[in-house]
Copies of this chain bind each other. A is one copy, B any other.
Amino acid sequence: MKHHTSFAQRTATTMHFASDNWAGAHPAIADNLARRNGGFVQANGGSDFDRAVEQTFRDIFETDLSVHYVATGTAANALALSAVARPGGIILCHSEAHIRVDECGAPEFFGAGTRLESIDGELGRFDATALEAAIGHVKDGGLNAGQVQAVSVTQLTEAGTAYDLDAIGAIADVTRHHGLPLHMDGARFANALVALGCTPAQMSWKAGVDILSFGATKNGCWCADAVLVFNPDHGRQMDYLCKRSGHMASKARFVSAQFEAYFADGLWLEMAAHANRMGARVAGIVGARNRFRLAWQPQGNEVFAIGPQEAVDGLAAKGVQFSPWQPPRAERPLVGAGEAMIRLVASFASTDADLEALESALAG
């Protein structure tokens, strides 16, 4: 859980680390929107163009799959998880998972009363052992306790870390053993992919993921989120689920056009790699200051740091845009009295000037 109000100073300085959705769209994506604007195209996602982009997803993930565009990352998660909803259903996820604490009850609403139960773990990750215990706990409770309907991992996690392939595989072994679907919240899928240096297939269905929330909005699109369903059993009701929640865009080609440019020539990986590199540089700058220290080593484009409250306030006063961050339960001991945790996020649009300005602000 965290503070969501950012210190947004309206100055001419360029120190934008509040979130990766403060940037606009990458120019190549904006251009493609314009290019795909002309003429008449069948609405509601049924056009040849939409189908061609869907095929691109299949090529990139090296498997058959269905693609369902939705309006936001929250919608992607909530709809993906509602595809496997059951009465008395429970989704097991990390205690700090975005779906549990930052989506205003969307997964609960879409599942008509789904409960999200926490699994604790350091650095935003839970492990297979903790998952096994959590499943056992629900089963011991019998009918009263409800039933586990899915397990969800977040990649990058809420701590900006990544599950490595072995960790995902071990979790998937547990879900398979119990016949449970495994969902991945991939709001920062590309950042994690680049961090691990593996293929999209390796980090998803080959590792045992059944349904993926694939986010591109934070990584350079305007508005491009999709649910990818690898197991066709889970996808049968997806179109109805999307339509009845107002998540079937009539001019769907506007989303297809973003994804077309996103995937073309590896732009998505390039943007994520840039964001991660800039994140690493932010970490280097912040971690080197004697008033601040890194909370832990970042793996993607999010940097968490700890410093004296007055230093935090000073940073904000200088126009650095970041988010005050309430430390996760597992990491609370890291933060001493009079100290505060902050989050800084780099994006595809972060520039050298941003970093230099940040360095100056910290030096000042």
- Chain B residue, CB-CB nearest to A239: B143
A210 at the binding interface (Cβ < 8 Å): no
Q: Using Cβ atoms and an 8 Å threshold, which residues of chain B touch A88?
A: 104-105, 240, 243-244
A321 close to B243 (CB less than 8 A):
no
A102 at the binding interface (Cβ < 8 Å): yes
A146 to B4, CA, bound (A): 12
B41 close to A72 (CB less than 8 A):
no
B105 close to A113 (CB less than 8 A):
yes
Residues 11-58 of A contacting B (Cβ, < 8 Å): 14, 16, 18-19, 21-25, 27, 30-31, 33-34, 36-44, 48
A113-B111, A146-B240 as given contacts; A246 in contact with B21, CB under 8 Å: no
B72 close to A143 (CB less than 8 A):
no
B254 close to A74 (CB less than 8 A):
no
A144 to B6, CA, bound (A): 14
Q: Is the interface of A mostly helix, strand, loop or mixed?
A: loop
A105 close to B87 (CB less than 8 A):
yes
A258 to B5, CA, bound (A): 26
A111-B113, A147-B240 as given contacts; A250 in contact with B73, CB under 8 Å: yes
- Chain B residue, CB-CB nearest to A118: B118
- Chain B residue, CB-CB nearest to A8: B42
A113 close to B108 (CB less than 8 A):
yes
A71 at the binding interface (Cβ < 8 Å): yes
Whole-angstrom distance from the CB of A159 to the nearest CB of chain B? 17
7 nearest A-B residue pairs (beta carbon): A75-B246, A109-B113, A71-B71, A108-B113, A88-B104, A112-B112, A16-B40
B70 close to A41 (CB less than 8 A):
no
Identify the stretch in A134-142, A167-175, A293-301, A334-342 within 8 Å (CB) of chain B at 4 or more residues: A134-142
